[in-house]
Structure 1
Amino acid sequence: MPRADSAFPAPVLNDILEAFPSKERERFLLGCDPVELRFADILAKPGERIRHVYFPTGSIIAQITPIDRRVGLGVGMVGNEGMVGIPLILGATTSSLPAVVQNAGSTLRMTAVLFRRELQGSPVLQRLLNRYLYVVMTQLARTAACSHFHVVEARLARWLLMTQDRSHSNQFHVTHKFLAGMLGARRVGVTTAALALQNRGLIHYCRGDVTVLDRAGLEDASCACYEVDRADSIWILGEVKRPA
């Protein structure tokens, strides 16, 4: 389970929260606990009651749709551009998708009860999260099509770019096993795709440690879904002026 740590410094690095007017943001943060997430922590399970929402500041959370009891498919990734706990925006109280920590790191956590209260009293939060919800729904549909029509190498490049964007680093850790689950591919297929990207000088990959060597080349190797996803993420905050 996530570990709460009152001594853990939690600067506001979440795009949604940074878009708040300063006074409203300060009040909202009083209801948040800084938490350190560990790799493979499970934050949500299908059918379980949602007890907390998460606004990542330094962690990455993968959302997975189960196909059967043994396999699933990664359909979303949440970093400091978003939040985990979307069903609460729509008035639901249970989770529909599993949420698993892909990269360990910091997050801000708020109880579901307090979040619903804040949502009812904040037009700014409602507007931001409605936009975020629209983008997530669009990206879910795009990911489903991408998984069907695009080859593993292009989808791997897309996933690595998404991870790099949210880790804010050229280096991060992700295993073949985890990538295979996210991409809905066999591990041998992920290995072949990773070697192809490495042989082209785009990445270095060794025992789960990834270094992006050629960002522009990796974007060229990715399917077009990545650029559309990134444009959507920028649009979320398009009508909200960030405070200085």
Structure 2
Amino acid sequence: MNSPIHSPLTNHLIDSLPHRDRVSVLADCETVDLAFGKVISEPGDQIQHAYFPLDSFISLITNLSDTERLEVAMVGSEGMLGIPLILGLDESPLLALVQGEGTALRMPVAVFGRHLEQSSALQALLNRYLYVLMHQLTRVAACTHFHQVEARLARWLLMTQDRAHSDQLHLTHEFLAMMLGVRRAGITLAAMALQSRGLIRYHRGDITVLDREGLIEASCGCYSFDRGLYRRIITEADVP
């Protein structure tokens, strides 16, 4: 798959439900606007809502200290924010930060819990999504340790492009450095390398993806692995 996973203003998890379950879930959701930089929850916060992004996307960040942060997952129209709720927990384990402004569907925790109890299809689908997310989290740990910054940056830009549904991205070096857990100088060198190969154009925080196929080749295999895993476990799965 060479194009972004989903079109704007849809959420693939909700769209994957049987018609009756989908209608029921949508009836209890409200559409909210998420502004860039909004903190939805801090580690240890009580979760108030489940979010299903439409054309917005959210970074899940682990904090080791005020200066040591690393993005460990990204949630867009392919997923949901509030995974602990599937396990019967309402505590946020990570910082949830809006990285791409836009809209999302939001459902109160109590209502979400009732839907989980009443819909075996929703439970089965979200269990599959939890499996995918767990696999991706372990992959991020290995990727951060073993893969070069240039390949990781290419992967991260592709992930962002998929969720932004656009070739135009606005990402400063400071923000990218925080997301990838490297120094700003490392991001500068990696971005220059990708630009010199004609894969992106970068100027003052504005990044344009010029060659998506080339960017996929430049990225580590983790990007294609994640896409393939999601497709196999979620997109091609038969939800009961």
Superposition TM-score, scaled by structure 2 size = 0.93
Within a 5 Å distance, the mapping from 1:208-219 to structure 2 comes to 208-219=205-216
Choose from 17, 20, 23 the match for 1:20: 17
2:4 corresponding residue in structure 1: none
Please give the residue correspondences for 1:135-154 in structure 2 after superposition, counting only pairs within 5 Å.
135-154=132-151
1:188 aligns to what? Answer: 185
Distance 2:238 2:11 in 1: 14
Please give the secondary structure, in 2, of the residue aligned with 1:136.
helix
CA deviations over 1:171-227 (Å, ceiling 9, x no partner): 121221111111001111111111110111000111211111011111111001110
Q: Distance in 2 between matches of 1:230 and 1:126?
A: 22
SS at match of 2:129: helix
Contact residue 150 and residue 219 of structure 2 kept, 8 A: yes
Q: Aligned residue for 1:201?
A: 198
CA distance 1:126–1:157, change in 2 (3 Å): same
Number of equivalenced pairs: 231
Q: Show the 5 A alignment for 1:213-232.
A: 213-232=210-229
The yes-or-no answer on 1:171 pairing with 2:174 is no
> Does the Cα contact within 8 Å between 2:11 and 2:79 map onto a contact in 1?
yes
What pairs with 1:23-102 in structure 2 (closer than 5 Å)? 23-102=20-99
Whole-Å Cα distance in 1 between the matches of residues 238 and 109 of structure 2?
A: 25
The answer to whether the 8 Å contact 1:102/1:174 transfers is no
Check whether the contact 1:128–1:237 (CA below 8 A) recurs between aligned residues: no
* Residue 3 (structure 1) aligns with: none
Q: 1:12 to 1:206 in 2, by over 3 A?
A: closer
Contact 2:21/2:121, CA 8 A, preserved across alignment:
no
How far did residue 240 of structure 1 move?
Answer: 3.1
Shift of 1:24: 1.9
- 1:129 is aligned to 2:126: yes
Cα distance in 1 for residues equivalent to 2:101 and 2:166: 14
Give 2:5's aligned residue. none
Tell me if the contact between 2:21 and 2:122 (Cα under 8 Å) persists in the aligned partners: no
Asked if the contact 1:203/1:214 (under 8 Å) is kept, the reply is yes
Code of the residue aligned with 1:118 in structure 2: it is H
Q: Give 1:124 shift.
A: 0.6
RMSD over equivalenced CA pairs, Å: 1.2
Q: How far apart are the structure 2 equivalents of 1:207 and 1:22?
A: 45
Sequence identity (%) = 55
Q: CA deviation at 1:12?
A: 5.6
User: CA deviation digits over 1:12-45, x for unaligned, max 9?
Assistant: 6000000112222112111111011111111111
Q: Which runs of 4+ in 1 moved over 2 A?
A: none
Task: Tell me the amino acid that sits aligned with residue 225 of structure 1.
Answer: C
Distance 1:62 1:95 in 2: 13
Other structure's SS at 2:127 match? helix
3-state DSSP of counterpart to 2:134: helix
Unaligned runs of 5+ in 2: 1-7
Partner of 1:159: 156
